[in-house]
Chains A and B, each alone.
Chain A
């Protein structure tokens, strides 16, 4: 602290008091963490493995889960509007997840963290890992896609909010941050229509389709992302033991739809409903 000299006074006089910049410097220290998942590309035809243990993933095109792309895009837009200072992308999975993280870096994320685990992961394990990362990185906002297109679980966002005891705004179709009052106003797409919630930050928000349209990663950004460092961790580093209470017994194709039958009389209909469909 010491005593103020001439230069200090001069600096104070020259710099105009800027309300916006003062606010920016205060809240712009907010970090946003985005969890992204590497899944089979949405346009690829899915094939069940012959041994019915799962879905064929070798020699299949993989990409970032579309809802995770939307979450990352929202985080980048918040950062570009000045309300956040840093976007950290995290992913949990096998070694190839770094490709997805590099795409995230190319879109504009500042840092990336990869928690490497080659086996099957269920939402609760992911949520526990994310909790450990949140405790370490201390973001002001955690964004996720509402669900992954491979398992359609729609659980991770809700679980992590429960573990962290943070408020959650799921299926977000609009997110507005109010930095002064540290709240986020989230429009949620629910079965009955649109629900607007006001969440105190820090909060968990999961994104739905109509929130935004993700940007393309430009070629120069892809080039720069190649040299960015991705932090590598394992679940052991975070003191998490991956343990699942679920076991996939069998994965099969849905049964082929049978052709419709045109009946000739009501009696025939009753007969079929009674004896074949057994609903009467």
Chain B
């Protein structure tokens, strides 16, 4: 029985079967005597900033730790990320609720020269480049890549119009080696949509020499190439913990325990996590990587880098198989405008791949204001546009998925080097927003990191040279000239378009100014009382679909009997803040319907977390107004199974 889809709120019995709510209830840190917003804010802010470096002895509540299950000494606990004492203590409570004896579970420890977290374009490019350098210089470095997806490529989702610039440098013979890059871009269209019409506009892109691909397929091929060179890749293992030594240097990661039941006890098939220690650790987890964010916070990498916060968008994508007469391989289409309003940045893409397959998707910037906006429904609505629906009629959907992407660009790049390693790829954020391409820069960042790492391990030069090599590479030039397009839309849709046209046609990236981003995405959500709920049309089951149907096509699954991997720093905030102030936006922006508000017997809305549905997109981690939701990594092997995304 596939228990992944949560039912609607109508049938309670099936709900209990098919979904599981957060089992953990913790006492609040301070008892809120009234539910007014100010006291809630105090609750949140005080819990968040309460000093976690206190040296009081381990109380019963703090024994154990949620992922590894063994007692850690107070010093180490204080080091564990700046999540705020409230959340962290809650985790301690979780561990305390477990039926552990409290003794440390010994974990096996494996040593490598380089440990890479994430088998995506950046991680695999870094691994391949390292092994190539080893061959050139006739040395050997052991390289290990851990990947939380069940296979390499299972969690990879992207448009994707691929610029082979980095691949040409990394593996120049990719064509002879049968890389899954077959369809060159044949046409490039750009439409401005109104409700009923499509207005062709001059295409701002130059996609000559680029290909329409499935990034999941390309990454699988990269995985094969990496294994041929001797890289050890372990899919199905989720890096959940960063290991530090006594000087606060990162010495590796630990995978999470497998076989832990929902209540925290060990199941029959309990398997403790494994420590993978590396002389250098590279984080390549993709956009908003959970460990990368921890490292960025701990070492203040945002302030040391380009300085601005990161901004994001949520991309939702379907791969369709359409009838042959409607398919034109290599055809590329982007649209702006309808169904989004002028205050929301976003648009669609429609790329024709091979074998009658069409990738169609919708991207919504997460700094939208209207809490009633539902990116998934906007996507479904978009497909009914008279210029789009004829293509999809008579077709079938093969796969569905969603993932957030970086939109911060040049201004948001953090300083990527920390003691013991570096951050590469979208975890740092090298996506070129006006081009809507990030795969080539992610790969290049991995390659540059590999070269710096090799010099560090082989010659002893400092890893900080990676930052300098980034700044003197084509990544920097590209992102620098692309830096003002997205921030221009802070002034509105048409000013944004006008400024973008100015940048593109007249200034050509040589503008003397650098625009700043607006508020962080989670702060941009306005109060629900300022808006009315949006009446989205019902799905027709032919072109548009409901979430459970789409979710089924993502092949996502998690073992249901494990602790929910979506943690609330304060379990009261959904009821006290999210619902009254913002009308529960997480029930709308999550493309997998993980968050549902269900009325209990007394009519109060309670948050139900269907963690089993999660697509690992990280939208909740980004967009939750109080940053109360923390996305942590579930048991390895779970999550979506993308093959052609």
Q: How far is the CA of A216 from the CA of B555 in the complex (A)?
A: 21
* A179 lies within 8 A of chain B by Cβ: no
> A45 and B552: CB pair below 8 A?
yes
> B110 and A216: CB pair below 8 A?
no
> B150 and A61: CB pair below 8 A?
yes
Closest B residue to A43 by beta carbon equals B557
> B641 and A219: CB pair below 8 A?
no
User: Given the interface contacts A44-B555, A59-B643, A61-B154, does A213 sit within 8 Å of B267 by beta carbon?
Assistant: yes
> B217 and A59: CB pair below 8 A?
yes
* B51 lies within 8 A of chain A by Cβ: no
User: Given the interface contacts A43-B641, A61-B555, does A218 sit within 8 Å of B150 by beta carbon?
Assistant: no
> B555 and A45: CB pair below 8 A?
yes
* A214 lies within 8 A of chain B by Cβ: yes
Contacts of B217 in A (CB 8 A): 59
Closest A residue to B276 by beta carbon equals A219
> B268 and A220: CB pair below 8 A?
no
Contacts of A47 in B (CB 8 A): 396, 398
Q: How far is the CA of A106 from the CA of B555 in the complex (A)?
A: 25
* B151 lies within 8 A of chain A by Cβ: yes
* B259 lies within 8 A of chain A by Cβ: yes
A66 to chain B, nearest CB (A): 12
User: Given the interface contacts A43-B2, A61-B151, A222-B234, does A216 sit within 8 Å of B553 by beta carbon?
Assistant: no
> How many CB-defined contacts (below 8 Å) exist between A and B?
56
Contacts of A218 in B (CB 8 A): 108, 271, 274
* B237 lies within 8 A of chain A by Cβ: yes
Interface of B, secondary structure class, is strand
Contacts of A219 in B (CB 8 A): 108, 110, 234, 237, 255, 274, 276
Contacts of B556 in A (CB 8 A): 43
* B392 lies within 8 A of chain A by Cβ: no
> B398 and A61: CB pair below 8 A?
no
* B188 lies within 8 A of chain A by Cβ: no
Q: How far is the CA of A275 from the CA of B567 in the complex (A)?
A: 58
Q: How far is the CA of A196 from the CA of B11 in the complex (A)?
A: 39
Residues of A7-61 contacting chain B, CB below 8 A: 41, 43-45, 47, 50, 59-61
> B269 and A45: CB pair below 8 A?
no
Contacts of A223 in B (CB 8 A): 110, 232
Q: How far is the CA of A249 from the CA of B2 in the complex (A)?
A: 29
User: Given the interface contacts A61-B154, A223-B232, does A215 sit within 8 Å of B269 by beta carbon?
Assistant: yes
* A212 lies within 8 A of chain B by Cβ: yes
Contacts of A222 in B (CB 8 A): 234
Closest B residue to A62 by beta carbon equals B151
A85 to chain B, nearest CB (A): 23
Contacts of A216 in B (CB 8 A): 258-259, 269, 271
Contacts of B358 in A (CB 8 A): none
Contacts of A43 in B (CB 8 A): 2, 4, 555-557, 641
> B553 and A220: CB pair below 8 A?
no
Interface string of B224-264 (1 = CB under 8 A from A): 00000000101001000000000000000001001100000
Interface of A, secondary structure class, is loop
* B365 lies within 8 A of chain A by Cβ: no
Q: How far is the CA of A213 from the CA of B271 in the complex (A)?
A: 13
A219 to chain B, nearest CB (A): 5
* B185 lies within 8 A of chain A by Cβ: no
Closest A residue to B268 by beta carbon equals A213
Contacts of B398 in A (CB 8 A): 47
Q: How far is the CA of A220 from the CA of B555 in the complex (A)?
A: 28
> B268 and A45: CB pair below 8 A?
no
> A213 and B274: CB pair below 8 A?
no
Contacts of B274 in A (CB 8 A): 218-220
User: Given the interface contacts A222-B234, A223-B232, does A214 sit within 8 Å of B255 by beta carbon?
Assistant: no
Contacts of A44 in B (CB 8 A): 555, 641
Closest A residue to B396 by beta carbon equals A47
* B644 lies within 8 A of chain A by Cβ: yes
Contacts of B644 in A (CB 8 A): 59
Q: Which of A43, A60, A212, A214 lies at the interface centre, i.e. has the most chain B CB atoms within 10 A of its CB?
A: A43
Contacts of A215 in B (CB 8 A): 259, 269, 271
> A41 and B269: CB pair below 8 A?
no
Residues of B459-505 contacting chain A, CB below 8 A: none
Residues of A203-253 contacting chain B, CB below 8 A: 212-216, 218-220, 222-223
Q: How far is the CA of A45 from the CA of B557 in the complex (A)?
A: 11
Contacts of A60 in B (CB 8 A): 643
Q: Which of A50, A63, A212 contacts B268 (CB 8 A)?
A: A212
Contacts of B396 in A (CB 8 A): 47
Q: How far is the CA of A60 from the CA of B644 in the complex (A)?
A: 9
Q: Which of A50, A59, A63, A220 contacts B110 (CB 8 A)?
A: A220
B640 to chain A, nearest CB (A): 10
Q: How far is the CA of A221 from the CA of B589 in the complex (A)?
A: 40
Interface string of B27-71 (1 = CB under 8 A from A): 000000000000000000000000000000000000000000000
Q: Which of B108, B217, B269 lies at the interface centre, i.e. has the most chain A CB atoms within 10 A of its CB?
A: B269
Interface string of B534-566 (1 = CB under 8 A from A): 000000000000000000110111000000000
Contacts of A50 in B (CB 8 A): 321
Closest B residue to A215 by beta carbon equals B269
Contacts of B268 in A (CB 8 A): 212-213
> A45 and B108: CB pair below 8 A?
no
Contacts of B237 in A (CB 8 A): 219
Closest A residue to B644 by beta carbon equals A59
Closest B residue to A103 by beta carbon equals B236
Closest B residue to A219 by beta carbon equals B274
B1 to chain A, nearest CB (A): 10
> B108 and A220: CB pair below 8 A?
yes
Contacts of A214 in B (CB 8 A): 269
Q: Which of B2, B276, B643 contacts A61 (CB 8 A)?
A: B643
Residues of B267-282 contacting chain A, CB below 8 A: 267-269, 271, 274, 276
> A61 and B641: CB pair below 8 A?
yes
Q: How far is the CA of A215 from the CA of B272 in the complex (A)?
A: 12
Q: How far is the CA of A216 from the CA of B4 in the complex (A)?
A: 21
Q: How far is the CA of A61 from the CA of B259 in the complex (A)?
A: 22
Q: How far is the CA of A63 from the CA of B274 in the complex (A)?
A: 23
Q: How far is the CA of A44 from the CA of B556 in the complex (A)?
A: 8
Q: How far is the CA of A250 from the CA of B142 in the complex (A)?
A: 50
Q: How far is the CA of A223 from the CA of B108 in the complex (A)?
A: 13
Given contact pairs A45-B552, A59-B217, A223-B232, enumerate 16 new A-B contacts (beta carbons under 8 Å): A41-B641, A43-B4, A43-B641, A44-B555, A44-B641, A59-B644, A60-B643, A61-B150, A212-B268, A213-B267, A213-B269, A215-B259, A216-B269, A219-B234, A219-B255, A222-B234
Which A residues fall within an 8 A CB radius of B?
41, 43-45, 47, 50, 59-61, 63, 212-216, 218-220, 222-223
Top 6 A-B residue pairs of the complex, sorted by shortest distance between their CB atoms? A43-B557, A59-B643, A216-B271, A215-B269, A216-B258, A219-B274
What are 15 A-to-B residue pairs whose CB atoms are below 8 Å?
A: A41-B555, A43-B2, A43-B555, A50-B321, A59-B643, A61-B151, A61-B555, A61-B643, A213-B268, A214-B269, A215-B269, A216-B269, A216-B271, A218-B271, A219-B255
